[in-house]
Amino acid sequence: MIRINENYLKLKASYLFADIAKRVTAYTAANPGKPIIRLGIGDVTEPLTPASIEAFHAGVAEMAVRSTFKGYGPEQGYAFLREAIATHDYAARGADIAADEIFVSDGSKCDCGNIQEIFATEGLKLAIPDPVYPVYVDTNVMAGRTGANLDGRYQGITYLDCTPANGYVPAIPSVATDLIYLCFPNNPTGAVATREQLVAWVAYAKANKAIILFDSAYEAYIRDPKIPHSIYEIPGARDVAIEFRSFSKTAGFTGTRCAYTVVPKSLMAYDDAGNAHSVHALWNRRHTTKFNGVSYPVQKAAAAIYTDAGKAQVKAMTDFYLGNAALIRAAMTKLGLSCVGGDNAPYIWINTGTDSWAFFDKLLNEAQVVCTPGAGFGKCGEGHVRISAFNSRENVETALARIAATLK
């Protein structure tokens, strides 16, 4: 008799954004004359930049000619892209990351979800913020690292509460943990971590022989020059952290798919006997076994964001979304709602103080605007909703007018 992985039975029936999509589809079917504006899932709306499109076309043209055609590429990514990343995202910020410590992939969601596979299941102590991008929790539940979900929280996880009291930046836990998930600029709250806060996390990880999984998918939205873009800007982080980056929100690649994960060669994890093993070697083994690389034209398109023209175009694109974010934040504040985020991140986290799914339903039914209910990101997300800045200016302005009419 074929048996299932019973850990899946501990999960909520569907993934947060699938749940929301189901409600929106049902509403649209019942109300065909009422157009919806989507400020829920963080999906980009602006086209790829001219630099990326030109490189994408050039890559496709090379695939059409025998002499430049390419079959399987290196699983870890082409050298031209890995070298551009090492130079522009790391060396330029004083971070010591080599090109061969970078693994190009088809998305940070997959990488954040897959990375846990190379660590122990039994006895591994997890630290996960709340609210949080649900992938971190759900993939650990699937792997069997948690107990049941009791009252909205899985047993076996040290939750790091992010609340108005701590500015939505979690405190270091008072207990030892082994695998720590951090995301800055944060999804869903848009909060950022200061250098001092990251220094403290690196020291904690070092003291506990732990590893930090640092998701910086939204770093391109940082405008405050004092805020680190990478955990590797912190001395010693090479020995305790893996970093996830994505071209999705940086350069509009949500539909094109390209991201990367940095696993420094100095990062170690331990077997039962306490012997150190290279995490880079383990991830390389996993990556080469289960992944065949991102397509050549897509990697060409990604590399183009590091040219002078590409940099300027990507900055203009992220500035545009931050302009939306500023409008959203100002409109919410005018309605008397307190909010964070939106200044160094494309998300605005609004403290409504009310049931977050009820607030979601109200905006959907009365304003035809989709947001994301905070409860979907964890227990501490209750009483909040997230509004995404990813949409056209016209749609954002229309949505804000509709929300104002609904809430006034």
384 is a site residue for ligand MLT (CB under 6 A): no
The nearer residue to ligand MLT, 187 or 197, going by C-beta atoms, is 187
CA distance 287 to 103: 8
Radius of gyration of the chain from its Cα atoms, rounded to whole angstroms: 21
Whichever of 78 and 377 has its CB closer to ligand MLT, that residue is 377
Residue 160-199 contact track with ligand MLT, rule CB under 6 A, x = bound: ---------------------------x------------
What part of residues 121-140 is at the interface with ligand MLT (CB under 6 A)? 133
Task: Please count the residues of this chain forming the interface with ligand MLT, following the rule CB under 6 A.
Answer: 6
Task: Give CA separation, 373 vs 19, 74, 340, 354, in Å.
Answer: 11, 40, 15, 10
Minimum CB distance to ligand MLT smaller for 41 or for 407: 41
Closest CA to 283 of 263, 269, 298, 301: 263
Applying CB under 6 A, which of residues 7, 10, 23, 41 lies at the interface with ligand MLT? 41
109 vs 245, beta carbon nearer ligand MLT:
109
Nearest approach in angstroms of CB 35 to ligand MLT is 21
Q: Tell me if 109 contacts ligand MLT by CB under 6 A.
A: yes
* Region near ligand MLT per CB under 6 A, out of 39-47, 88-96, 145-153, 208-216: 39-47
Cα–Cα distance, 204 to 233 (Å, whole number)? 16
Q: Which is nearer to ligand MLT, 204 or 360 (CB)?
A: 360
Q: Between residues 133 and 204, which has the closer beta carbon with respect to ligand MLT?
A: 133
Q: Which residues contact 255 (CB under 8 A, 6 or more apart)?
A: none
User: Given its phi and psi angles, is residue 273 left (phi above 0), alpha (psi -120 to 50 degrees) or beta?
Assistant: alpha
Number of H helices, E strands in the chain: 12, 17
Strand 347-351, strand 369-370: pairing: unpaired
Binding of ligand MLT by 42 (CB under 6 A): yes
Residue nearest to ligand MLT (CB): 42
Q: Which of 391, 349, 389, 363 is nearest to 23 (CA)?
A: 363
Q: Which residues contact ligand MLT (rule: CB under 6 A)?
A: 41-43, 109, 133, 187
